Amino acid sequence: MNKQCKIIVLIFCSLKLLLHFIADSHSGFQGDELLHIETGKHLALGYMEFPPFIGLLAFAQNIFHSHSVFIYHIFPHLASVLILIFVANIVTELGGGNKAVFFVLLGILIAPGFERSQQLFQPVVFSQLFWIVTFYYLVRFVKLLDQKSLWLATAFCISGFLIKYDCIFLLFGLLSLFFFSRTRKALIQHKFWINILVFIICLLPNVLWQVSNHYPVLQMFSRLYETQLDKLNRMDNLKNLFVEINPVVSLFLFLTGVFYFFFSKNKSTVFPLAAAIGLSFSLLFLSNGKAYYFYPIALTVLPFGAVCLEQHVFSKRKWILYAVTVLMVLGCVLIPFGMPVYSFHRYLSRIYPHEKKEISGGEYAIKYDEYYTTGKWQKTLLELKLVYDSLPANEKRYCLIWAKNYAQAGAVNLLGNEYNLPAAFSYHGSFYIWAPDDGQMPNTIIAISYDVGNFFGPYFNEVKKVKTIYNPYANSEEELYQYIYICKQPKQNFSTMKLLFKSRIFE
């Protein structure tokens, strides 16, 4: 990468961080983030919803003993910058120059879907990073046929699997290397079966954890298809993908990149890479994945589009360079649709009218809960504190909080110390693993849930609803209200509760 390209990368990395810092100042914790933060307190070889690597990252961030959104976004911000750096390196490996690097990084910057997915402390951003780094070394291997690139691709593919199971789609794409004699001979020469063996050995601890815990990931996927994926339309997913990565980016970089796959003269390099992307895309498409599942694949296509524009369009008609630049810069108006670079009140007046959704009983239906969760959790914890303080001293001593939803449990455990609240437990998602598994339940439990009917009734002789918390910004009717209960005289102990919820952890 030449000096000018490095300057371009530095500028875009700085702009990227600036956007994320602004968004942090307007954000609370997104619901899933509270689950991921909790994993840092329970390091293990696996979790119910995802592999173990997110727990190590959460553990490192927990060292700061902070409740700051910025602190818990340190690793996502670093990952988002590294994504830009490696995408730029992919462009230069494909023969692109300054213009191609500029356009691909601008395309990523103005894509609302990329911005939001790379903002939050979730496995998604790290999955994108490891996918892109693996692809970078795949490009290097296809070009050089060297053993070093093969091993580095193996290492980052392993890392991808240990952060998110969707790396299976990347692995499926790598089968393309066997379709072409040039890469197939190189794999055999480098004894690729050793790479496969190392890959299996590194994943074995998590596989054994899954076996010992009765394959919770399969239960999760089953529930996911039952409640969400089976209801999705594949073509609608593709339409959503094109919108979420910005229609301008889709038109000038994504579709151009796909076009380049078929008409590039550098067949020995481009065809194996195009086949890898095509296999990954096909399997994910058949699996009916959500639009954001395709983001890592889109990131691997954009460099080809940028190189194609630079080599075959801008070199012949320079005026198109300026026209495309203007259109892509104008595409920046979509950034606030993906991340909270506006304050909440400005979002409600400027952006929300274009995303308005009617929820019966609600005032607004905000798509992304991080816009309002600072106030939401403050209100929730204050109400829990009022209920807890109302208990007699002998009941407060042993009282625990049972949260129906993992985000509620995560909020109590992360922020509850400020309100002198007891610890929360839950049987939802990975919180099931951390719930007490023996001993008697306290005689008094404070329970909190969304609108899920008489959920706690079967487990106590006395259940009394004492608080109702209204959320005017909820995106679904179920989350319009949170209810707080005082539950007394449990009918079973903790070990029995574990058995009762063994197959209900994703309800």
The Cα–Cα gap between 309 and 313 comes to 5
Domain ranges in the chain?
3-337, 371-500
Alpha carbons 503 and 427: distance in angstroms, whole number: 10
Identify any residues that bridge with 425 across adjacent strands, giving them in sequence order.
402
- The sign of the CA dihedral 259, 260, 265, 267 is negative
User: Which own/partner pairs from 10-15 qualify as long-range (CB within 8 Å, at least 24 positions apart)?
Assistant: 12/84, 12/105, 12/106, 12/108, 12/109, 13/81, 13/84, 13/85, 15/109
**Residues in a beta bridge with 445:** 400, 487
Q: According to DSSP H, which parts of 287-343 are helical? A: 295-308, 318-330
From first to last of its 507 residues, the chain has per-residue pLDDT tens of 788 889 999 999 999 999 999 999 999 999 999 999 999 999 999 999 999 999 999 999 999 888 899 999 999 999 999 999 999 999 999 999 999 999 999 999 999 999 999 999 999 999 999 999 999 999 999 999 999 999 999 999 999 999 999 999 999 999 999 999 999 999 999 999 999 999 999 999 999 999 988 888 888 777 777 666 667 778 888 888 888 998 888 888 999 999 989 888 888 889 999 999 999 999 999 888 788 899 999 999 999 999 998 888 877 777 778 888 888 888 899 999 989 999 999 999 999 998 888 888 888 999 899 999 999 999 999 999 999 999 999 999 999 999 999 999 999 999 999 999 999 999 999 999 999 988 899 999 999 999 888 899 999 999 999 999 999 999 988 999 999 999 999 999 999 999 999 888 888
Tell me the β-bridge partners of 464.
486
Which residues partner with 86 through β-bridges? none
CA distances from 168 to 82, 137, 154, 175 (A): 22, 17, 13, 11
Cα dihedral 154, 79, 100, 6, rounded to 10, equals: -100
DSSP string, 386-419: HHHHTS-HHHHTT-EEEESSHHHHHHHHHHGGGG
